[in-house]
C-alpha cells in the first residue's frame, strides 16, 4: 500500500513538472498563415534632416600647431519622433574605418525657419591632431541629438579631410 501511494505521488509530481515545462516552453505568438507577408519600414532614420554643408580640414598654417576642424550646416525637419523646438546637438563623434578618432561637444548656432530648424555646428578652436587620424582618408561623422526625453543619432559618411596650408 505504501509503495502504491509513493508511486502515485511520484507520478503526480512528474505530471505536474511535465505540464509546467510544456506550458512554459509553448509560444503565445500567433503563427502566420501561408502567403501572409509582414511589411517592414525601410526608411529608419531617427532624425529627418538635410545636410546643407559639411567640411573637415586640418589647419596647418605656419606658426601654429596643426589642428583638426569640423563644421557643418544642417536643417532639421519636423517629425513626430521628436520636439523640433527642443532638439539640439549634444555630441559629435568622428570615426575613421569604423574606429573612434574624436568625440567633442561643438559650438552651435540655431535658427527657426517655420517647420524646420537650421543648425550650424563647429569645433571650438580645432582639435589637436590625433595619431589615429589618417589625413588621407575620409571620415564619418556621427551626430547625437537630444530633445530632452530621447537621444537620436545621425551619421554622415565619407566626408573628405582637406588641408589648409
Confirm if 158 and 101 have CB atoms less than 8 A apart: no
pLDDT of residue 51: 94
| pLDDT of 25 over the 80 cut | no
Give mean pLDDT, residues 76-92: 90
Higher pLDDT, 106 or 41: 106
Confirm if 83 and 145 have CB atoms less than 8 A apart: no
Higher pLDDT, 2 or 139: 139
Query: What is the number of other CB atoms lying within 10 angstroms of the CB of residue 150?
Result: 12
CB proximity list for 97: less than 8 A, separation 6 or greater: 134, 137
Indicate whether 102 belongs to any domain.
Answer: yes
- Proportion of the chain above pLDDT 90, given as a percent: 53
pLDDT of residue 13: 66
Indicate whether 24 belongs to any domain.
Answer: no
Indicate whether 66 belongs to any domain.
Answer: yes
The per-residue pLDDT for range 104-122, each reduced to its tens digit, is 999 999 999 888 999 999 9
Give mean pLDDT, residues 35-59: 71
Indicate whether 98 belongs to any domain.
Answer: yes
Give mean pLDDT, residues 150-159: 93
Confirm if 154 and 94 have CB atoms less than 8 A apart: no
pLDDT of residue 64: 86
24 three-state secondary structure: helix
Indicate whether 133 belongs to any domain.
Answer: yes
Indicate whether 43 belongs to any domain.
Answer: no
Indicate whether 21 belongs to any domain.
Answer: no
Tally of residues, the chain: 165
Range in 35-39, 55-59, 101-105, 137-141 with the lowest mean pLDDT: 35-39
Confidence of residue 94 (pLDDT cuts 50, 70, 90): very high
Which range marks the domain in which residue 114 is found?
49-164
Indicate whether 60 belongs to any domain.
Answer: yes
pTM value is 0.70
CATH code for the domain of 119: 2.60.40
The per-residue pLDDT for range 118-137, each reduced to its tens digit, is 999 999 889 999 899 999 99
Please count the structural domains in the chain.
Answer: 1
Amino acid at each position: 500500500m505504501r509503495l502504491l501511494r509513493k508511486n502515485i505521488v511520484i507520478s503526480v509530481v512528474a505530471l505536474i513538472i511535465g505540464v509546467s515545462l510544456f506550458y512554459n516552453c509553448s509560444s503565445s505568438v500567433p503563427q502566420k498563415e501561408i502567403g501572409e507577408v509582414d511589411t517592414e519600414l525601410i526608411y529608419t532614420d531617427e532624425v529627418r534632416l538635410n545636410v546643407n554643408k559639411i567640411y573637415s580640414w586640418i589647419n596647418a598654417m605656419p606658426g601654429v600647431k596643426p589642428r583638426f576642424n569640423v563644421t557643418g550646416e544642417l536643417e532639421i525637419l519636423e517629425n513626430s519622433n521628436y520636439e523640433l523646438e527642443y532638439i539640439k546637438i549634444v555630441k559629435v563623434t568622428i570615426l575613421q574605418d569604423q574606429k573612434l578618432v574624436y568625440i567633442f561637444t561643438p559650438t552651435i548656432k540655431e535658427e527657426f525657419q517655420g517647420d524646420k530648424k537650421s543648425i550650424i555646428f563647429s569645433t571650438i578652436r580645432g582639435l589637436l591632431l590625433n595619431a589615429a587620424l589618417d589625413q588621407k582618408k575620409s571620415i564619418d561623422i556621427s551626430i547625437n541629438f537630444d530633445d530632452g526625453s530621447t537621444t537620436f543619432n545621425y551619421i554622415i559618411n565619407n566626408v573628405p579631410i582637406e588641408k589648409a596650408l
